[in-house]
Amino acid sequence: VPFVVLSSSLNPASRSRALARCAHEALGALGHSVEYIDVRDYDLPICDAATAYSDPNVLALQRQIAKSDGIVFATPVYNFAAASSAKNFVELTGSAWTEKVVGFLCAAGGRHSYMAVMGLVNSLMLDFRVHVIPRFVYSTETDFDADLQPAPDVAARVRELAETLAACSAALAGANATGRGEP
């Protein structure tokens, strides 16, 4: 499976999930095979660095992330950071993210928390050498209509992120194939 779209909000009426659906559709329309993971579909444990790592859902999700080329990571902004459900997912799946290309879709209440994902981004980059697409999608409540449909310009930014993810993954695979970057 080349791509995974991961929705990490636990809110049944989530805006970041609406963006995740949009990214899923966009990658499919570009002809890529893409799987959708919604944390609401799994009864995930809180990471305890012990028994959580043998949970069957955690093991299955680790495998799903590990076999992907790239991940679109949709996350709510809580307390000026990525929501704990997003961080917990990374804590549970850890090294499965190694050297993936990752693009973020964020839903926030207001405009001021746009650096909220950077803690999680730093951790992915430094712990797992993840290639994070610098231009991520940051949305606020006013970017959605009453049915949680994203405004056309936001949907266009999601499509752009999907295209960038596919292009970066292909470029990285090409670079790895030719051995660029090896000593």
Ligand X SMILES: Cc1cc2nc3c(=O)[nH]c(=O)nc-3n(C[C@H](O)[C@H](O)[C@H](O)COP(=O)(O)O)c2cc1C
The binding site for ligand X (CB under 6 A) comprises: 9, 11, 14-17, 76-80, 107-110, 113
In this structure, how many other beta carbons lie within 10 angstroms of the beta carbon of residue 133? Answer: 18
CB 151 within 8 A of CB 145: yes
H or E stretch including 178?
none
Checking phi first, is residue 52 left (phi over 0); if not, alpha (psi -120 to 50) or beta? alpha
106 within 8 A of 75, measured Cβ to Cβ: yes
Residue 38's SS3 state is strand
* Cβ atoms 44, 105 nearer than 8 A: no
Closer to ligand X at the Cβ: 109 or 174?
Answer: 109
Both structure tokens of 9: 């909000």
Q: Which is nearer to ligand X, 6 or 172 (CB)?
A: 6
Kindly tell me which of 109 and 119 has the beta carbon lying closer to ligand X.
Answer: 109
80 or 175: CB nearest ligand X: 80
Q: How far is the CB of 17 from ligand X (least distance, A)?
A: 6
